[in-house]
Amino acid sequence: MPAPSVKSSLHLDASLPRARTGALTAAAHDEDEFSAGETLADGFRAWLSQLPVLAGCALLLHAPLLAFAFLPDLPEPIVAVAFVMAGVVAAGLVQGALVKAVLDHERSLPSDLGELLQAGLRVGPRAVGVHLAALGGTLARLLMLVKPGVHYLCDTFVAVPALAVDQKSMQTALLRSTRLARGARLRIFLVAVVPWTTAALVAASSGAFGQSSFEDLPWLIAFIFARALDTSLAATLAATTYSRLSSRPGN
């Protein structure tokens, strides 16, 4: 049997790094176990197991919306815009507050309502800023094309949890969220479509912007209860998604 030539030996040696790189890439791909189905299941499980605390915290953070029942007569468009902005602020506060509860639940630690409220107030202004930046960026892109808007919404889905955990700037949190979403945008969309759908259903079924809705105190109380459930679920799913994405290789 003829001995291998110098040329063939060099060819074999050169192919080894490529083979090793391919193996490492395949291994890293195999280790990326972020699953939309498992994330949804774990998120719903965490939400249901802590529902009194999570929904209670969200309810308290939405309670200031009751003030709209006692406003003086103002033009309906102005009240509607103010109500939407107040709701967005409340949703941002809820997300900032509930991250701790979800991550503590994964470590089998109990959640205290007082601690959650303190966490929400501590990161509240920046959490609201990140929430508004994500929504504003999404709307700006949606006005151009639907696909870029949906992409940006997926990229910023875990921005508030990133802010609450890393305790850094709003811009850093948005960049961190975008980095975590790389290679998983479709799976994030499958998770995110659940809270987006529930939020749309709550708004549509409640007739949120019907004539004189804000002056009807019983309607407003019912709406706030529904939004407390909706936003607490959204916050739980976002925090669970952040936890799963952070455990992926390279993150």
Residue 35 CB coordination number (10 Å): 15
User: Looking at the domain assignment, is residue 23 inside a domain?
Assistant: no
Confidence check: pLDDT of 17 > 50: no
Q: How far apart are the first and last CA of the chain?
A: 50
pLDDT at 210: 55
- For the ranges 108-117, 128-137, 195-204, 239-248, the maximum mean pLDDT occurs at 239-248
User: Looking at the domain assignment, is residue 8 inside a domain?
Assistant: no
User: What percent of the chain lies above the pLDDT cut of 90?
Assistant: 37
| Contacts (Cβ under 8 Å, ≥6 apart) of 75 | none
The structure tokens 């696909």 sit at 147
Per-residue pLDDT, averaged over 133-156, amounts to 81
Query: Average pLDDT over the chain, rounded to whole?
Result: 81
What confidence tens digit (pLDDT) does each residue in 20-31 have?
444 433 344 445
Give the residue from 136, 135, 126 showing the smallest Cα distance to 97.
126
User: Looking at the domain assignment, is residue 83 inside a domain?
Assistant: no
Taking the alpha carbons of 103, 171, 95, 93 in that order, is the dihedral positive or negative? positive
The structure tokens listed for 139 are 């709307």
- Residue pair 242/162 in contact (Cβ under 8 Å)? The answer is yes
- Residue pair 151/138 in contact (Cβ under 8 Å)? The answer is no
3 state DSSP class of 250: coil
pLDDT at 13: 43
Predicted TM-score (pTM) above 0.85:
no
Distance of alpha carbon 92 from alpha carbon 164, whole angstroms: 11
The structure tokens 């979403």 sit at 181
Distance of alpha carbon 184 from alpha carbon 169, whole angstroms: 24
- In the chain, the number of structural domains is 1
- Residue pair 133/174 in contact (Cβ under 8 Å)? The answer is yes
**Domain span holding position 124:** 35-71+89-244
Name which of 12-16, 164-168, 192-196, 222-226 the model is least confident about.
12-16
pLDDT at 88: 85
Confidence check: pLDDT of 4 > 70: no
Better pLDDT: 168 or 243: 243
What confidence tens digit (pLDDT) does each residue in 42-74 have?
999 999 999 999 999 999 999 999 998 888 877
- Residue pair 241/43 in contact (Cβ under 8 Å)? The answer is yes
- Residue pair 93/61 in contact (Cβ under 8 Å)? The answer is yes
User: Looking at the domain assignment, is residue 19 inside a domain?
Assistant: no
User: What percent of the chain lies above the pLDDT cut of 70?
Assistant: 83
